Structure 1
Amino acid sequence: MYSALISTAYWGSIIAATGLLCIASLIYTQQEKLLYIPDRSYMLQPSQFGFEDNFEEIFLTTSDGVKIQTWLFRQENSKSVPTLLFCHSNAGNLSHRLENIRHLFDNVRCNIFILSYRGYGKSQGSPTEIGLKKDIDACMEYLLNDPTIDSNTIMCFGRSLGGAVAIDTAYRYPNNIKALILENTFSSVPDMVDAVLPMLKLFKPFCRSRWDSKETIKHITCDILFLSAKNDELVPASHMKLLEKHAHQCRKKTIVFENGQHMNLMFQHNYYKYIKEFMLEKFGEYF
């Protein structure tokens, strides 16, 4: 009987270890599908939001040969106003931000350049952290050489995952990104595992897309506007507080929306007013 118990325990541990290994393997190979949720089929059109002659679709090719879709919305005096590089969140594609873009265009009066990350919208490829950084490199190369805009007044906006992309962009282009706006973004992907998938804590060392913004933001020197939802139901508001704390080399301002949630800040009172004031403080009167 004793030997039978030993045998059962032995094989039980083997089965448990095998199961754990299978789970780890599945998480490792499929982790990008948990983080990146692209939509390649449902596309809204800029014309539906009143954009006609002031809009251009531009396809760029990244350093690793991936073609990505971008849109540029130009003000009539495009050379005289700042340009906002818009880094969207982890789901959908660039067209799902058109309502937000319309209000930014009308209320903040800046140019807006937005991309669909690889694998999103009409962009080729599949999303990874390394890949998204190459997408941004292609965008920055274009913006720095577009004669219709002022390359000295480029700033970066990022919401949720896009905040991590924006922070990395400001870090890698310190001489070109003049200001940063962060909305409801996380401190790192492993930190988000603790918040939304605590049962997977053991597998955090296997994260390929880490987006460790709380470390990267320590090196940012440009001005930062933090837009945070007090009632964020996806990314705990503590993540934005941590990012603000670690951003110790820059001028910064934090706006907390008492009734805000993860994806509705754009509908909160004075949302565009705060962005406009931040940009006017940085660039002066430009309209």
Structure 2
Amino acid sequence: MWFECIAFVCIGYIIYHVIHLYFNQHKLIFYPTHNGEDFPTLDYIKEHSHLPFDLKEVKITTDDNNTVYLYACLQQNPEIHTTILLFQSNAGSVLDRLRLAANYYKLCDVNFCIAVYRGFDKATGIPTEQYMTQDCERYFDALQSLNIDMNKVVVLGRSIGVSMALKLFNKRKCYGLIIENGFTSLYGMAIKFFPFLKSLSFVVKDKWDNLEEIQRVNAGSKILMFSSGSDEMVSPEMMGQLYLKAKENGRLVRFESFSEGNHMNLPEYPRYFVIVTKYLEDLEKSDECFDCGTFENCLNE
């Protein structure tokens, strides 16, 4: 009798937490440092950030009537420059990306735009794969208001942003694709940190399956991949798997490995922006001139 009661309570406890995990998965994935009320105004950001560009804020209404944002760092004549659209990692704020934006702006001579996800900074809504997949096209559409060349938009995905970048690249005509330290799938990441989920795959509601998504990239697409050999979050083997899959069916892929690099510090390497600049130049060249293959980079190069 007592044993049956205890077993019943334990089963109920497990079921409760499995259901809770299923419906609150986003809380384990996304970690915004600001939400709504405590986020500074655009004027405050401009005044205190000492940026080399006039930061613009674009408000976007989503398909389900939530609000997300795009922050634009534009060159003086934006229409003659390539535009980078950044899909960020799973944590922090747009404020954390302004240094990266400034470096891209100065060192690569590009417009740089930052997508702000649901639940981050002033954006409303809950960041789930279903809705964020719809949002990626809204960010792209919002670029049209910025007087840029829509035929020269390069999508940059970092960490979980790789998933968003791939989804957009497969939905719209984009000029190029840069992938930095992405995982193969969220399930693969989940069992790395929570091994017990291996037998509970159904609990991982949002799949973020980059291996499947990268197979849908058109043949002939030119892709630049960055991988950190000392990545503390995403196993470098996952980037290796994405590279092998990307090479199939005639895609042109350049894989740049930084053996000492960590998950988010590759832009601190002097070679990083040199590689990006060359990739942007190579996008205008014939396929035969595009440097494919794997390349190793050292800390001080």
Deviations 1:173-215 (A, max 9, x none): 2xx2121111111111101012122133333212222111110
Task: Tell me, yes or no, if the aligned pair for 1:193 and 1:204 is still in contact at 8 Å.
Answer: no
Residue 33 of structure 1: aligned partner: 27
Structure 2 counterpart SS, 1:71: strand
Residue 294 of structure 2: aligned partner: none
Residue 19 of structure 1: aligned partner: 13
Measured in 1, the distance between the counterparts of 2:110 and 2:180 equals 18
By how many angstroms is 1:115 displaced? 1.7
By how many angstroms is 1:29 displaced? 2.2
RMSD of the TM alignment (CA)?
1.9
Task: Tell me, yes or no, if the aligned pair for 1:215 and 1:246 is still in contact at 8 Å.
Answer: no
Instruction: Compare 126-135 and 258-267 and name the one that shifted more.
Output: 126-135
Measured in 1, the distance between the counterparts of 2:50 and 2:271 equals 23
TM-score normalised by length of structure 2: 0.85
Deviations 1:94-124 (A, max 9, x none): 2211111110110011111112111111112
TM-score normalised by length of structure 1: 0.89
- How many percent identity over aligned positions? 25
Structure 1 counterpart SS, 2:244: helix
Distance 1:47 1:275, change over 3 A: farther
Distance 1:26 1:63, change over 3 A: closer
Measured in 2, the distance between the counterparts of 1:171 and 1:22 equals 37
Segments of 5+ residues of structure 2 without an aligned counterpart are 286-301
Deviations 1:28-57 (A, max 9, x none): 122110011122236582454433663211
Amino acid at match of 1:28: Y
Task: Tell me, yes or no, if the aligned pair for 1:184 and 1:235 is still in contact at 8 Å.
Answer: yes
Which protein has the larger Cα radius of gyration, Structure 1 or Structure 2? 1
Distance 1:60 1:186, change over 3 A: same
The number of aligned residues is 275
Deviations 1:56-84 (A, max 9, x none): 11111112211212111111231111111
Measured in 2, the distance between the counterparts of 1:100 and 1:46 equals 16
Residue 4 of structure 1: aligned partner: none
Measured in 2, the distance between the counterparts of 1:46 and 1:212 equals 37
Measured in 2, the distance between the counterparts of 1:116 and 1:243 equals 25
Distance 1:137 1:258, change over 3 A: same
Distance 1:53 1:234, change over 3 A: closer
Task: Tell me, yes or no, if the aligned pair for 1:189 and 1:212 is still in contact at 8 Å.
Answer: yes
Residue 274 of structure 1: aligned partner: 275
Residue 241 of structure 2: aligned partner: 242
**One of 192, 212, 217 as aligned partner of 1:215:** 212
Task: Tell me, yes or no, if the aligned pair for 2:59 and 2:70 is still in contact at 8 Å.
Answer: yes
Measured in 2, the distance between the counterparts of 1:251 and 1:46 equals 39
Task: Tell me, yes or no, if the aligned pair for 2:136 and 2:167 is still in contact at 8 Å.
Answer: no
Task: Tell me, yes or no, if the aligned pair for 1:49 and 1:99 is still in contact at 8 Å.
Answer: no
Task: Tell me, yes or no, if the aligned pair for 2:230 and 2:236 is still in contact at 8 Å.
Answer: yes
Amino acid at match of 2:186: V
Distance 1:75 1:161, change over 3 A: same
Measured in 2, the distance between the counterparts of 1:60 and 1:17 equals 44
Measured in 1, the distance between the counterparts of 2:252 and 2:47 equals 38
Structure 2 counterpart SS, 1:26: helix
Structure 2 counterpart SS, 1:158: strand
For residues 82-97 of structure 1, the aligned pairs below 5 Å read 82-97=82-97
Residue 147 of structure 2: aligned partner: 148
By how many angstroms is 1:85 displaced? 0.8
Measured in 1, the distance between the counterparts of 2:134 and 2:106 equals 30
Amino acid at match of 1:76: Q
Deviations 1:133-167 (A, max 9, x none): 23222111122x33621111111001101111111
Structure 2 counterpart SS, 1:51: coil
